[in-house]
Amino acid sequence: MNPLGIFLITATALFPAYQLFSLPNVADKVALFSQYLGLAALILMAWGQILATRFRGVETIFGGLDRVYVLHKWTGIVVMAAILLHDTIDADMDGLGRETALNELAETLGELSLYGLLILVVISVATFIPYHLWKWTHKAMGALFAAGTFHFFFIMKPFAMGDPAGLYTGAFCAAGILAYLWTLLPERMRPSRAYNISKLEQTGGALAITMAPKSRGLRPHPGQFGILRFTGARKSEPHPFSFSQIAPDGTLRVTAKALGDFTSGLSGALKVGQEVRIQGPFGRFRLSGKGPEVWIAGGIGITPFLAWAEALEANADPAHLFYCVRSQNDAPHLAEIQAIADGKPNLSLHVFASSDGARLTAATLAETVGSDLGNAKVSFCGPLSLRAALPKDLQRYGVTARSFHYEEFEFRTGIGLKRLANRILAKAIR
Ligand SMILES: Cc1cc2nc3c(=O)[nH]c(=O)nc-3n(C[C@H](O)[C@H](O)[C@H](O)COP(=O)(O)OP(=O)(O)OC[C@H]3O[C@@H](n4cnc5c(N)ncnc54)[C@H](O)[C@@H]3O)c2cc1C
């Protein structure tokens, strides 16, 4: 995650504190603090909506889209805490004049927004709710943000909407609502490029989909991903996939592992010749090529590394690719990655198949890479279970958190409730 983005969000949310506490003639500082919390919550909600737009500039400021969604989630959680406090600490002030019907409506909408958001934030972090249902509840958040904006515009407060404090937060509310309206646009109206499927192929339990551009195609960097919509198929919900091959003629390939409802039925639903709309390219999982590299792929996490391997230049520093799979038969593109490694003396491939009893640990990794490991950039893409253990163990071999990079293959990361429930369940069964 880009620290600049975190700084920007924090600074913009703190600024109204300065504006409010420099207002003249306001004696009730506790109520003022509560009012500040309300403004900060609105600014953070606006950022949450802006982060969800997938605009190019968003990735430039905040980092890859996978991290943007993590930031979006934590922004929502801080909003929740701020509005709960805003509701608990009395924000009413004496001497602001007589309440009108509009002020009362604003107060009611504020309450509605608070309780609605509370429910929706709890649903948002519950990753066990199916994605297609979760998506709709998540979209409703913008409507509650609009209710919160109405509350801010028409509630009685110690400043007018034309004052700097009113204009500042009002501008964020307007930007947030515009961003929300953008996210409501039907997928077919969002910028995307048209492709046709030119080849479908099964590989190690996954489906490789090669697509040729209909006209001008995307120009992704190796390691980036697109959001694909298979128009005309019964599978037109957009889903993110990394490009496992980026050919010089503009042809792109993704490789999809059947992990759920959508991906399970893909091979039966797709045909050669069918249209695909691709949004993107997104992501900041980039090949540096400077200094020694260690790449760790778990199962389908091989996809960005396939594109990296192809792009690795002959004069680049050595790269070690560790490919962890259940079995050799269950390893997408194994023959292809082997052929690429055979043709590049600076790329070494190490396959760890658990069916053969092989397990990748920090110690085996250090033994294979040798003294280069402490100076290497370590990049990871694969299941959370593997990622959870490695960075801590690798610290013993000089790999710092800064030199460990990873791609989230999941936009909806939750706050670990599912893992906690599994752990409790496992203990209870034992
Ligand atoms: C940046 C990125 C790159 C990825 N690259 C690859 C790849 O190269 N190959 C590959 O096989 N998989 C890849 N994935 C994962 C792939 O997108 C999911 O496996 C797929 O969307 C699951 O959909 P499903 O309905 O079959 O499974 P489900 O069981 O319904 O969903 C599994 C999880 O995927 C997420 N998900 C479901 N639908 C969507 C959606 N429409 N948009 C976003 N997330 C969704 C949900 O959080 C859900 O918890 C990538 C994911 C991300 C975020």
In a domain, residue 364? The reply is yes
Start-to-end C-alpha separation, the chain? 39
- Please give the pLDDT value at position 209: 97
Q: How far is the CA of 288 from the centre of ligand 1 (A)?
A: 26
**How confident is the model at residue 323, as a pLDDT?**
97
Q: Is residue 135 scored above 70 in pLDDT?
A: yes
- Residue 237 and residue 279: Cα distance in Å, rounded? 13
User: Are residue 256 and residue 334 in the same domain, yes or no?
Assistant: no
Q: Is the pLDDT of residue 126 over 80?
A: no
User: 175: domain CATH number?
Assistant: 1.20.120
What is the C-alpha separation between 141 and 49, in angstroms, rounded? 9
Pair (39, 163) in one structural domain: yes
Q: Give 149 Cα–ligand 1 centroid separation in angstroms.
A: 33
pLDDT value of position 208:
97
Task: Give dist(CA 253, CA 307) in Å, integer.
Answer: 10
Which among 20-29, 55-64, 176-185 has the top mean pLDDT? 176-185
pLDDT at position 37 is 97
Residues with Cβ within 8 Å of residue 117, at least 6 apart in sequence: 79, 80, 83, 141, 144, 148
- How far is Cα 381 from Cα 301, in angstroms, rounded to an integer? 5
Residue 369 has pLDDT above 90, yes or no: no
Q: Of 232, 262, 282, at which residue does a domain stop?
A: 282
pLDDT at position 379 is: 94
Q: How far is the CA of 239 from the centre of ligand 1 (A)?
A: 6
Strand partners, 325: 353
Q: What is the pTM of this model?
A: 0.89
246: containing domain = 190-282
Q: Give the amino acid at 368.
A: T
**Mean pLDDT along residues 52-56:** 90
Please tell me the distance between residue 253's alpha carbon and the centre of ligand 1 in angstroms.
16
pLDDT score at 265: 85
Q: What is the pLDDT of residue 414?
A: 67
pLDDT of residue 403: 87
Check which CATH number belongs to the domain holding 245 and give it.
2.40.30.10
Please state, in angstroms and rounded to a whole number, the distance separating the CA atoms of residues 64 and 135: 21
pLDDT band per the 50, 70, 90 thresholds, residue 416: low
Q: What is the mean pLDDT of residues 6-17?
A: 96
- Which residue out of 137, 234, 239 has the highest number of ligand 1 atoms within 8 Å of its CB and is therefore the one to mutate? 239
**Strand order across the 404-406 sheet:** 347-353, 319-325, 293-298, 377-381, 404-406
Q: Is residue 429 part of a domain?
A: no
Provide, rounded to the nearest whole percent, the portion of the chain with pLDDT above 70: 97
| 417 within domain boundaries | no
* Residue closest by Cα to atom 37 of ligand 1: 131
Same-domain pairing of 101 and 17: yes
Q: Is 154 helix (H, G, I), strand (E, B) or coil?
A: helix
* Residue 430 is assigned to a structural domain of this protein: no
Q: Is the CB of 240 under 6 A from ligand 1?
A: yes
pLDDT reading at 415 higher than 70? no
> Residue 187 pLDDT more than 70?
yes
pLDDT of residue 430: 66
pLDDT of residue 402: 85
pLDDT at 418 exceeding the cut of 70:
no
- The answer to whether residues 164 and 53 belong to one domain is yes
Residues 203 and 258 placed together within one structural domain of the fold: yes
Average pLDDT on 153-157 reads: 94
- Containing 353, the helix (H) or strand (E) segment is strand 347-353
Token digits of residue 410? 């999941």
**CATH value at residue 389:** 3.40.50.80
How many angstroms separate the CA atoms of 70 and 125, rounded?
Answer: 11
204 & 336 share domain: no
Does 256 contact ligand 1 (Cβ within 6 A)? yes
User: Which residue's alpha carbon is at the smallest distance from atom 29 of ligand 1?
Assistant: 260
Q: What is the rounded distance in angstroms from the CA atom of residue 214 to the CA atom of residue 211?
A: 9
Q: Do 304 and 272 belong to one domain?
A: no
Residues 204 and 170 grouped into a single domain: no
pLDDT single digits (tens) 225-258: 999 999 876 777 899 999 999 999 999 999 999 9
Residue 391: its pLDDT value, please?
Answer: 83
Of 103-112, 344-353, 371-380, the least confident: 371-380
**Long-range pairs for 69-73: beta carbons < 8 A, 24 or more residues apart:** 69/408, 69/411, 69/412, 69/413, 70/1, 70/408, 70/413, 71/1, 71/5, 71/6, 71/9, 72/48, 73/124, 73/125, 73/413, 73/414, 73/415
pLDDT band at 380 (very low <50, low <70, confident <90, very high): very high
Question: How distant, in Å, are the alpha carbons of 40, 180, 306, 383 from that of 101?
Answer: 26, 28, 63, 54
325 lies in a domain?
yes
Tokens 């991903």 correspond to 225
User: 158 with 18, same domain?
Assistant: yes
Split at pLDDT 50, 70, 90, the class of 33 is: very high
Give alpha helix (H) positions in 283-377: 303-311, 334-342, 362-369
Is 80 exceeded by the pLDDT of residue 218?
A: yes
In a domain, 40, yes or no: yes
Ligand 1 site-directed mutation target among 246, 261, 409, most atoms within 8 Å of CB = 409
User: Is the same domain home to 260 and 371?
Assistant: no
In a domain, 206, yes or no: yes
Count of domains observed in the chain: 3
Answer whether 352's CB lies under 8 Å from 323's CB. Answer: yes
Supply 424's token pair: 């409790």
Count each helix (H run) and each strand (E run) in the chain, helices first: 14, 11
- In the predicted model, is pLDDT for residue 124 greater than 90? no
pLDDT score of 359? 86
Residue 297's closest CA among 250, 356, 268, 255? 255
Q: Has residue 414 been placed in a domain?
A: no
Find the 411 Cα to ligand 1 centroid distance in Å: 8
Q: Which range has the worst mean pLDDT, 135-144, 313-322, 340-349?
A: 135-144
Instruction: Let me know whether 156 and 270 are in one domain.
Output: no
Output the pLDDT for position 7: 95
97/213: higher pLDDT:
213
Q: Which two tokens stand for residue 418?
A: 């599912």
Q: Given 185, 209, 224, which residue is the final one in a domain?
A: 185
145 and 237 both lie in a single domain: no
